């Protein structure tokens, strides 16, 4: 008889599972990525930038002049010029001796003599050297995730590549009887949004041999599997991990997601996610995302602290995931432990109630980890 996969008699505390994954985990070496691939990745330390712009330029179309030469000019007392001023357009370097740019209508060329109809101050209509990017500054601080605005600065500075830490994540789907892959697609998209370089694979079957063959950790920094983590007759992912490497914990004190498992193949951490979307998400947020953060050197996310709109009751001994909606300056609980797809879609944030807590009273300040910008 083929042995069945079993949960241990007691569940592993969530903190212990995370600590086991972190043991021996090292920060990845930075790699240079083209700007088009850097979005969402975590920045490593980079050399300081040069000034942008590198010299004074026109901030708008107009006439380039010296402000000192325009003292006293007005529409009632036009100031004649001995020569026509230079016309510049936005982005043009200022001609030598000029320190301001005035509007087209403030220079009268209708008569035989060119006249200026208004004063100006030095720097008017001008973008000074270093006005966009000060010399010695950085595109983005190390440990921060790259945003579109960071890429704007990089392009303005003339950079083509940035030094990033991008974990390679191998995502293995264990085929379900229904052939549904929505959970795998969800985790794949979530991983890419977290800055990982995702390689997707699928086991040829749900048996131990097929799964063991698919969980190759040779080309990744983190291995994540989806499905086959429970105690059903065709669940064999944890047994397959035991054949290929080491099971650190199977059965995490986490709701949803208690059939999740963590392990290691050589030095590569492994996170086994259940096949149901809500269970996979809970384990992804609490187990896999922290590993990605440790590998990439991501600075700890700052949660949003708001009072609870109503009480949350929780069971002692297990960490429970709560979905939250931001409403009138409070956190409104949407779902606890059992997370419907509708609740997941409506949630603005999540929190994990510690295993030692019985919940939170109405009005208590709690930390929500944002799911939306």
Q: What is the pLDDT of residue 139?
A: 84
Higher pLDDT, 111 or 8: 8
| 41 lies in some domain | yes
What's the token pair of residue 213? 């063959």
Q: Kindly state whether residue 218 falls inside one of the protein's structural domains.
A: yes
Is 4 within a domain? no
First-last CA distance in the chain: 52
1 occurs within a structural domain: no
Averaged confidence pLDDT in the chain? 94
In a domain, 7, yes or no: no
CATH at residue 320: 2.40.340.10
> What per-residue confidence (pLDDT) applies to 2?
62
In this structure, the answer to whether residues 177 and 291 fall within a common structural domain is yes
CATH number (domain holding residue 91): 2.170.190.11
Identify whether residues 200 and 277 lie together within a single domain: yes
Does residue 259 sit in the same domain as residue 203? yes
- 219 and 288 fall within a common domain: yes
Q: What is the pLDDT of residue 1?
A: 52
pTM of the model: 0.86
Total structural domains in the chain?
4
Instruction: Assess whether 314 and 248 both reside in one domain.
Output: no
Are both 256 and 178 inside the same structural domain? yes
pLDDT digits (tens, 9 = 90+) for 128-171: 999 999 998 888 889 999 999 999 999 999 999 999 999 999 99
Domain-ending residue, one of 296, 326, 359: 296
Q: Which of residues 296, 320, 345 is at a domain's end?
A: 296
Instruction: For residue 350, give the 3-state DSSP assignment.
Output: strand
**Average of pLDDT values for 72-90?**
93
Angle, vertex CA 248, rays to CA 219 and CA 276, nearest 5: 75
Give the tens place of pLDDT for each residue, 281-334.
999 999 999 999 999 999 988 899 999 999 999 989 999 999 999 999 999 999
Looking at the structure, do residues 291 and 317 belong to the same domain, yes or no? no
The three-class DSSP label of residue 96 is coil
- Say if residue 221 is in the same domain as residue 287: yes
Same domain, 156 and 174: no
The alpha-carbon radius of gyration of the chain (Å, integer) is: 30
- Asked whether 232 and 259 are in contact (CB, 8 A), the reply is no
Confidence of residue 111 (pLDDT cuts 50, 70, 90): confident
Does some domain include residue 100?
A: yes
Do the beta carbons of residue 262 and residue 274 sit within 8 Å? no
pLDDT, residue 163, reads 95
Range of the domain at 79: 57-127
Sign of CA dihedral 289, 294, 300, 306: positive
Per-residue pLDDT at 101: 97
- Distance separating alpha carbons of residues 209 and 212, to the nearest angstrom: 5
Q: Model confidence over 258-283: pLDDT tens digits? A: 999 999 999 999 999 999 999 999 99
Q: Determine the pLDDT at residue 373.
A: 74
23 and 40 housed in the same domain = no
pLDDT in the model for residue 46? 85
Contact 296, 167 (CB under 8 A): yes
> Do 112 and 146 share a domain, yes or no?
no
Is residue 158 one of the residues assigned to a domain? yes
Same domain (yes/no): 208, 273: yes
The two three-digit tokens of residue 339, written as one number: 């997370």
Q: Give the end of a domain, one of 100, 127, 154.
A: 127
Measured CA to CA, the distance from residue 109 to residue 84 in angstroms comes to 9
* Residue 6 in domain: no
CATH code (residue 186): 3.40.980.10
Alpha helices, DSSP H, located in the chain: 14-22, 35-38, 148-156, 182-193, 208-214, 237-244, 277-283, 289-296, 341-346
What is the C-alpha to C-alpha distance for residues 43 and 40, in angstroms, rounded to an integer?
A: 9
- pLDDT of res. 47: 86
Count of CA atoms in the C-beta half-sphere (13 A) of 25: 23
Q: How many CB atoms lie within 10 A of CB 229?
A: 31
């Amino acid at each position: 008889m083929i042995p069945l996969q079993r949960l241990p008699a007691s569940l592993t505390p969530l903190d212990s599972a995370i600590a086991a994954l972190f043991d021996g985990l090292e920060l990845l070496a930075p790699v240079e990525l083209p700007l088009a691939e850097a979005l969402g990745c975590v920045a490593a330390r980079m050399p300081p930038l040069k000034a942008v712009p590198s010299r004074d330029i026109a901030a708008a179309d107009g006439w380039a002049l010296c402000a000192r030469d325009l003292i006293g000019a007005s529409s009632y007392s036009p100031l004649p010029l001995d020569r026509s001023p230079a016309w510049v357009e936005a982005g043009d370097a200022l001609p030598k001796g000029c320190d301001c740019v005035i509007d087209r209508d403030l220079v009268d060329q209708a008569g035989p003599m060119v006249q200026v109809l208004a004063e100006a101050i030095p720097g008017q209509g001008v973008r000074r050297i270093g006005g966009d990017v000060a010399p010695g500054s950085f595109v983005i601080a190390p440990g921060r995730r790259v945003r579109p605005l960071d890429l704007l600065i990089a392009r303005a500075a003339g950079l083509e590549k940035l030094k990033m830490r991008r974990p390679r994540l191998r995502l293995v789907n264990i085929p379900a009887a229904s052939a549904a892959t929505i959970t795998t697609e969800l985790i794949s998209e979530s991983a890419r949004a977290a800055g990982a370089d995702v390689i997707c694979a699928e086991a040829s079957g749900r048996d131990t041999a097929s799964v063991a063959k698919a969980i190759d950790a040779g080309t990744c920094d983190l291995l994540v599997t989806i499905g086959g983590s429970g105690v059903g007759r065709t669940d064999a992912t944890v047994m397959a991990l035991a054949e290929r490497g080491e099971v650190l914990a199977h059965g995490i004190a986490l709701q949803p997601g208690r059939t999740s498992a963590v392990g290691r193949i050589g030095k590569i951490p492994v996170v086994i996610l259940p096949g149901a979307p809500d269970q996979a998400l809970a384990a992804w947020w609490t187990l896999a995302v922290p590993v990605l953060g440790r590998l990439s050197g991501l600075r700890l996310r700052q949660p949003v602290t708001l009072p609870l709109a109503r009480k949350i009751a929780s069971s002692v001994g297990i960490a429970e995931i709560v979905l939250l909606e931001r409403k009138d300056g409070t956190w409104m609980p949407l779902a606890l432990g059992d997370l419907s797809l509708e609740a997941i879609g409506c949630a603005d944030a999540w929190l994990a109630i510690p295993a030692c807590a019985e919940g939170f009273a109405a009005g208590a300040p709690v930390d929500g980890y944002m799911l939306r910008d």
